[in-house]
Amino acid sequence: MQIESTKKINSISDLPKITSLVLPKEFELLPKTSEVFELEFAFYEYKFLTKDEIIRKGAFFKSVDEIPTYHYIICSNNSSLIWEGRSEITKSYFKEGNFSTGYATHGLFPYRGKFHPQLIKGILNILGVQPGDVVLDPMCGSGTLNVEASIIGIDSIGIEKSPFCVLMSKVKYEALKTDSATLSLIIGDMDKNYKALINSKKLLAEFSYHNGFQPEKAITLLAFLDAMGYARRCSKSIDVLFPSVLKRYVGQINSFIQARDKLNLKISNASFEIGDARNLTLADNSIDAIITSPPYSFAIDYAENDRPQLEYLGYNISDLKDEMIGLKGRTRKEKLANYFDDMNKVLAEMHRVLKISKYAVVIIGSNDIQTGGIRLETKVEDMALKHGFVLDQKIVKPIKGIQNKMKDEYILFLRKV
């Protein structure tokens, strides 16, 4: 058989864009969609979704047949308050991540090591999750999966060991459903609520999700805890920071609800609980999809990172460290042994609660710098196979923000057989 030689091109100006080789011209990608993993996911959405579905829930497209996607409309409506008055690094992060990380309520309390929201939406799309299905994140962190699922009409469950993370997740979710009247109330009561929070922890219960969740007070509480952490990292006092943080929250939430009402989005149900991924209180074969990311504890000490917030909420940091995955142990060897033992239990539970033929997607970092060369993703992959999962796909995603500690994430698509 004769192989035809590659067609010669005389000038670089004759070279086609790579996207034109895989996508018809009526599909326009979002601005700055250039990473390999982004192009992969855009191609998968193009293959898995109809044109109408891409418009309503696609994550990587600006328009189809010149009709703007819902994702583009939501992101284009972002409030500039989210980066005003912040460091140049933070401003750059939010501006660069306008379509990937800083939209909807994800920008409330930007959490270290959190999911890439746009990526989660893409994963939900290519898994074929539909309204009526339930998705789970058994280590939900700041609730990124739950926010994304809720926006595209999928019910979800978030389980997390850290009480602060459960509060944060709940606030971000509830803020999706709030209204302009509530936002006005938040600003109107700002000074009164601040005095209550700064002067007496006894009043904390009024602001907590434990006491019949009140969105206006819970949003104020999260802004207060955000300002508290911010004050720890800079020279400004919480008195100065709190008003600007709260106004930033209100501006961003208001931007989303304007887009939500314009698009007539129905926010689906999400539930949250303080729990343990190693011992889930869920029935066998009850979950339609799992998307989770094990804690990057070898790169980030989450308990220490959240110390001001956890202590304010009344929790003992040492006790939490003894319970959180990746933080147990004195030496690196002990921490690794405990981590893999815990992750083995987590994978067993994920396999138990997942429906047959459905997917558990694990996003895990390659932080071999901290582990002495041991690849976490390889160990987790091997354990998953022993529990009865099949690895159907593995995608590499570069990490921005903590590359001095971790350069890549691996997205493992594990199918229960």
| Residue 333: both structure tokens together | 């060897």
Predicted pLDDT at 12: 57
Predicted pLDDT at 301: 81
Report the C-alpha gap between 257 and 239 in whole angstroms: 28
Annotate 286-303 with DSSP letters as a single string. -EEEEEE----TTT--HH
Predicted pLDDT at 401: 53
Low-confidence spans in the chain with pLDDT less than 50? 1-5, 402-404
Predicted pLDDT at 230: 84
Predicted pLDDT at 100: 86
Return the CA Rg of the chain: 22
Predicted pLDDT at 220: 93
What is the strand order of the sheet 287-292 is part of? 270-274, 155-160, 134-137, 287-292, 354-365, 408-416, 389-398
In whole angstroms, how far apart are CA 199 and each of 145, 179, 312, 389?
35, 29, 12, 52
What does pLDDT average to over the chain?
86
Predicted pLDDT at 376: 83
Predicted pLDDT at 97: 65
Report the C-alpha gap between 328 and 113 in whole angstroms: 19
Report the C-alpha gap between 205 and 374 in whole angstroms: 44
Predicted pLDDT at 5: 47
Q: Mind listing the pLDDT tens digit for each residue in 383-399?
A: 999 999 999 999 998 87
Report the C-alpha gap between 205 and 163 in whole angstroms: 14
Collapsing DSSP to helix, strand or coil, 373 comes out as coil
Annotate 319-366 with DSSP letters as a single string. HHHHHSTTT--SSHHHHHHHHHHHHHHHHHHHHHHEEEEEEEEEEEE-
Predicted pLDDT at 229: 84
Closest CA to 164 of 172, 154, 155: 172
Q: Identify the helix (H) or strand (E) that includes residue 68.
A: strand 67-68
